[in-house]
Structures are given as C-alpha cells and as structure tokens.
C-alpha cells in the first residue's frame, strides 16, 4: 500500500529482469526500480501533479514492449521523459546511455518486429510531424511541430501508421513539403485499444 496514494493498489509489471526507469523533468532526474517509486519521485516535484493519467501512462509504458523514450504531459507546457533501462544505478545509466546496452538493443529490435504483427482492431495514434506553414506576406515558409491524434481501425501497428500518414498526405490543409517521422521515431506513438 502506498503512503502517497492510499487508494492505489500497485500492480506488478515485469517486462524483463532488472528493467528500471530513468525519469527526467527539466533538471530533476532519477533512476527508479518500479512504477511506485516513479510516482513518489514525481509527487515530490513542485510543478507535477500526480494523477490517474500519469499513473496509467507509466503502468502502460512499463507493461508494453516499447523500448523508446516516452514523454508524459504534466501540464499544457511541459512533460517528463521516461526511459527503460537495464542500468542498476544512475552512474551506470550515464556511462552507457539508454541505448548502449546490448540487451536493450535486442529488445528494441524485437519491439520493431512487432509492428507488422497482425492485431486487427482500433488503435490510438499520435504523430508529431514537421508541418510547413506559409507566410503570405513574406512568401516564405517555415516548419512547425504539429501533433495529430486520432483513432484508427487497422490490421497492425504498421497498418495504423500507414493509414495515419496517408490521411495526412491527402489532406488539402497539409502542405506536401511537410515531413513525417518514421514508425520507429519517438514522434509516433500508438496503443492497441481492442476490437
């Protein structure tokens, strides 16, 4: 039972032995060994409100096969970053980096191979792409990070990604010079919602 969250019953998520979480919020950072410890760290930060959304996002991330960094929003202007790592200490994490471990690289490859795995149903997708915005007064253009969130009926994660990109490319209000991230990018996130 948590002292910070009296009604919260922790759920144990195991994705592999010795998998830990590195969390950074501006200059504050920590390496923790469970979702419960992550929540306690976040609750100690002045600007972060730990609520059900944050808890569920951390739990989903820990239980997923995703090995890419995750950004979790804490208010309209800021977010914290979470990285899975096999590092046992902060010093070890800093020395080898998040992707410097062979075990993690293998896990990343396995996660990528799952994109094409058939799993028909609904997906929640979020993509942040570089949208071209024209400035008529100067006849110049510039890129702006543009998030796009939707639900997609798809056959797999790859199919979900392909449908989102196709939709954006076919929209009249999206300049064809806009740039889209790859499926492997941290700028594409998805979760399976079920049939």
Residue 135, token pair as written in the block: 């400035």
Q: Is 112 left (phi over 0), alpha (psi -120 to 50) or beta?
A: alpha
pTM for this model (two decimals): 0.45
Q: In Å, how far from its chain's centre is CA 164?
A: 17
Report pLDDT for 108.
53
Is pLDDT larger for residue 152 or for residue 4? 152
Average of per-residue pLDDT across 36-58: 89
Q: How confident is the prediction for the chain on average, in pLDDT?
A: 79
pLDDT in tens, 170-188: 988 888 888 888 888 888 8
Report pLDDT for 4.
42
pLDDT in tens, 109-165: 555 567 778 889 999 999 998 888 887 888 777 788 889 999 999 999 889 999 999
Report pLDDT for 119.
85
Domains of the chain plus CATH, in order, are 20-114 (no CATH), 117-194 (3.30.1280)
């Amino acid at each position: 039972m948590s002292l910070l969250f009296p009604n919260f019953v922790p759920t144990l998520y195991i994705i592999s032995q010795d998998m830990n979480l590195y969390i950074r919020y501006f200059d504050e950072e920590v390496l923790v060994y469970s979702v419960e410890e992550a929540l306690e760290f976040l609750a100690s930060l002045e600007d972060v409100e730990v609520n059900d959304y944050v808890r569920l996002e951390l739990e989903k991330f820990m239980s997923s096969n995703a090995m890419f960094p995750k950004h979790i929003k804490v208010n309209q202007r800021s977010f914290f970053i979470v990285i899975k790592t096999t590092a046992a200490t902060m010093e070890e994490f800093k020395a080898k980096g998040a992707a410097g471990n062979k075990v993690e690289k293998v896990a990343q490859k396995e996660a990528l191979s799952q994109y094409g795995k058939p799993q028909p149903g609904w997906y929640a997708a979020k993509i942040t792409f570089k949208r071209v915005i024209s400035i008529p007064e100067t006849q110049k253009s510039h890129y702006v990070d543009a998030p796009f969130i939707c639900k997609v009926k798809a056959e797999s994660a790859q199919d979900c990604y392909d449908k989102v990109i196709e939709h954006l490319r076919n929209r009249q209000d999206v300049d064809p010079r806009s740039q889209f991230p790859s499926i492997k990018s941290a700028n594409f996130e998805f979760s399976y919602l079920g049939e």
